[in-house]
């Protein structure tokens, strides 16, 4: 049990961890916000963005392609998130405002999704870009405080199970909503629309309402904030912790090599996941229904892939399993360069699904094995890891957009991502995966 204080500073009733109702409530936040991750960033919005936006856009006197603008919007959103992430972590850990900020970022993201309803043509392009960036910030910002609740509501021996429950809730919820969106878009006439494209914005509204509505379950069930007073020290704490952790990492060559390998490989992974849809629409002329089928393939195969590489890791070790996946990712990028038909791209999507879940889960698990033994400060190490995750996403999506702009097409951009995986593979070969290994 933990003793919390209320707003007046007096001793509150001790909070009992592992309460089933609260744990289920926490998991429902994954059910709520995963709809954004799947429907907006991957399945539906990318293709809609390209349909509504002109092939060439003038931004501050610079002419760029619509695909490049989409990539840069992602880069900008994640750059902002990376910059404020230490501040958010400091508030989450020391400020006692978890629920306040969880509610704020949830509301911001959900309303931004609903705001995409008003993105209908080039005249409202600013609405589309602004709402997309704000929704991405709302999603990622909310995750900081969502994750911070886990050690508060569960004992350490329950972390894995509770976290897995949240993942399964998120998968189920997002699939249900995605299939519902597919029904509306494919049967647009039933709902009074003249064409499927005009029915697409309904999906954005459905995501916002789903996200905001189901988030009320965890917001009602999670423990109330302790509300410690703000101070300048509090606002600097997160940045100080990141700086301290960076110095520790630099002093551990083996961990530095691993994080460098992760940085490059993750830049490729996140770029493929976020930008595969616009590649399919732009280069292979997929429509929204095709894209939804594509994402369903990714999700279903991804479950099996996560279990497969968990098994490979148990037999061959984390390092070898990750290297195998980097080789497959490299081949996927080469395949993306030469692919010409929708059937071929579906096969590539199945390959992505195979290594998608395993790469992300093993990367984090491997990092945990490299942490110094008996360190009491694992939170700061993972906060640093999270910032690297976001910064690598910025680099990957920016490079993708830049090469698309310079070369006039996305195939060269996809092929360039193979370089990230090759660099990651070379760096990973020199990593020793041993708990607390320093050199």
Res 218: pLDDT: 95
Q: Specify burial of residue 196 (Cβ count, 10 A radius: 0-12, 13-18, 19+).
A: middle
How far apart (Å, rounded) are the C-alpha atoms in residues 169 and 162? 11
Locate the DSSP E strands across 167-253. none
Q: Which residue has the higher pLDDT, 308 or 203?
A: 203
**Closest to 380 (Cα-Cα) out of 84, 86, 79, 145:** 86
For position 243, what pLDDT does the model report?
83
Tell me, what's the pLDDT at 248? 84
Distance of CA 23 to the CA centre of its chain: 22
* pLDDT of 21 higher than 80: yes
* High-pLDDT (> 70) share of the chain, %: 90
Whether residue 59 has pLDDT greater than 70? yes
**Measured between alpha carbons, how far is 416 from 399 in angstroms, rounded to an integer?**
8
Q: How confident is the model at residue 196 (pLDDT cuts 50, 70, 90)?
A: confident
Contacting residues for 116 by C-beta, under 8 A, at least 6 apart: 40, 45, 127, 128, 131, 132, 135, 201, 204
What's the rounded mean pLDDT across residues 126-136?
Answer: 95
Distances (CA, A) of 105 to 25, 240, 359: 18, 24, 28
Residue 131 has pLDDT above 50, yes or no: yes
Tell me what pLDDT residue 113 has: 96
Residue 334: what pLDDT?
Answer: 94
Least confident of 73-82, 224-233, 318-327: 224-233
- Answer yes or no: are the C-beta atoms of 403 and 247 closer than 8 Å: no
Instruction: Determine the pLDDT at residue 375.
Output: 63
Structure confidence at residue 437 (pLDDT): 47
Length of the chain: 439
Each residue of 360-386: pLDDT tens digit?
Answer: 778 877 887 887 776 655 667 777 888
Q: What percent of the chain has pLDDT over 90?
A: 36
Q: How far apart are CA 357 and CA 120, in angstroms?
A: 34
- Looking at residue 14, its pLDDT comes to 67
Q: How confident is the model at residue 358 (pLDDT cuts 50, 70, 90)?
A: confident
Judged by average pLDDT, the poorest of 122-131, 165-174, 263-272 is 165-174
> What angle, rounded to 10 degrees, do the helices at 232-250 and 378-407 form?
80
Largest CA-CA distance found in the chain, in angstroms, rounded? 67
Q: What are the distances in angstroms from CA 259 to CA 98, 290, 350, 363, 386?
A: 28, 36, 27, 9, 11
Higher pLDDT, 333 or 10: 333
Q: Checking DSSP bridges between strand 62-65 and strand 56-59, what pairing results, if any?
A: antiparallel
Per-residue pLDDT, 150: 82
- Residue 374 is predicted with a pLDDT of 65
Q: Provide DSSP, 127-186.
A: HHHHHHHHHHHHHHHHHHHHHHHHHHHS-GGGHHHHHHHHHHHHHHHHHHHHHHHHHHHH
Can you tell me the distance from the alpha carbon of 419 to that of 180, in angstroms, rounded to the nearest whole number?
A: 38
Confidence at residue 343, expressed as pLDDT on a 0 to 100 scale: 80
pLDDT band at 8 (very low <50, low <70, confident <90, very high): very low
User: Is residue 438's pLDDT more than 60?
Assistant: no
- List the single range of 110-119, 251-260, 277-286 with lowest mean pLDDT: 277-286
Q: How far is the C-alpha of 102 from the C-alpha of 228, rounded, in Å?
A: 16
Token pair of 342 as six digits = 């929708």
Q: What is the mean pLDDT of the chain?
A: 84
CA distance 43 to 295: 6
Confidence of residue 234 (pLDDT cuts 50, 70, 90): low
**pLDDT for 10:** 44
Give pLDDT, residue 105: 93
Separation between Cα atoms, residue 285 and residue 230, nearest integer Å? 52
**Model-level pTM?**
0.81
Mean pLDDT computed over 102-114 = 95
CA 325 vs. chain centroid, Å, equals: 19
Give the residues across from 15 on adjacent strands. 2
pLDDT at position 166, please? 83
Token readout for 254 is 């083996």
**Dist CA 182 CA 272 (whole Å):** 23
| Closest C-alpha among 55, 73, 56, 68 to residue 404 | 68
Q: Is the pLDDT of residue 185 over 90?
A: no
d(CA 138, CA 109): 4
Query: Is 5 a residue whose pLDDT tops 90?
Result: no
Rounded-to-integer distance, Cα 362 and Cα 313, Å:
8
Question: How confident is residue 235, by pLDDT bands cut at 50, 70 and 90?
Answer: low
């Amino acid at each position: 049990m933990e003793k919390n204080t209320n707003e007046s500073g007096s001793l509150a009733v001790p909070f009992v961890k592992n309460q089933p109702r609260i744990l289920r409530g926490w998991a429902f936040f994954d059910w709520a916000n995963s709809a954004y991750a799947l429907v907006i960033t991957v399945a539906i919005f990318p293709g809609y963005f390209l349909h509504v936006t002109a092939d060439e856009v003038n931004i501050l006197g610079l002419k760029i392609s619509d695909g490049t603008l989409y990539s840069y919007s992602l880069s900008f959103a994640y750059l902002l998130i990376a910059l404020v992430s230490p501040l958010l972590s400091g508030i989450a850990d020391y400020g006692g405002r978890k629920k306040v900020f969880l509610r704020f970022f949830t509301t911001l993201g959900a309303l931004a999704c609903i705001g995409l309803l008003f993105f209908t043509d080039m005249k409202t392009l600013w609405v589309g870009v602004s709402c997309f960036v704000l929704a991405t910030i709302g999603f990622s910002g909310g995750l900081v405080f969502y994750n911070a609740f886990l050690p508060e509501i569960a004992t350490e021996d329950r972390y894995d199970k509770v976290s897995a429950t949240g993942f399964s809730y998120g998968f189920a919820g997002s699939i249900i909503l995605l299939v519902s969106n597919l029904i509306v878009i494919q049967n647009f006439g039933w709902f009074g629309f003249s064409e499927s494209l005009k029915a697409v914005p309904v999906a954005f509204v459905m995501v916002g309402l789903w996200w905001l509505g189901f988030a009320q379950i965890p917001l009602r069930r999670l423990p109330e904030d302790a509300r410690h007073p703000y101070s300048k020290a509090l606002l600097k704490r997160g940045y100080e912790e990141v700086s301290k952790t960076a110095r520790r990492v630099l002093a551990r060559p083996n961990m530095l090599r691993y994080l460098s390998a992760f940085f490059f490989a993750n830049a490729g992974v996140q770029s493929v996941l976020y930008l595969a849809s616009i590649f399919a629409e732009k280069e292979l002329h997929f429509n929204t229904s095709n894209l939804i089928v594509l994402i369903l393939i990714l999700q279903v195969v991804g479950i099996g892939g996560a279990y497969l590489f968990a098994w490979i890791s148990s037999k061959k070790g984390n390092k070898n399993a990750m290297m195998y996946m980097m080789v497959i990712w490299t081949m996927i990028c080469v395949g993306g360069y030469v692919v010409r038909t929708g059937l071929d791209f579906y096969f590539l999507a199945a390959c992505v699904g195979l290594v998608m879940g395993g790469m992300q889960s093993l990367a984090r698990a491997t990092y945990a094995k490299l942490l110094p033994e008996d360190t009491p400060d694992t939170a700061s190490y993972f906060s640093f890891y999270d910032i690297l995750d976001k910064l690598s996403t910025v680099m990957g999506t920016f490079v993708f957009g830049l090469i698309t702009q310079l070369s006039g097409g996305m195939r060269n951009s996809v092929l360039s991502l193979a370089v990230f995986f090759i660099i990651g593979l070379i760096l990973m070969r020199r990593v020793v995966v041993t708990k607390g290994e320093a050199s």
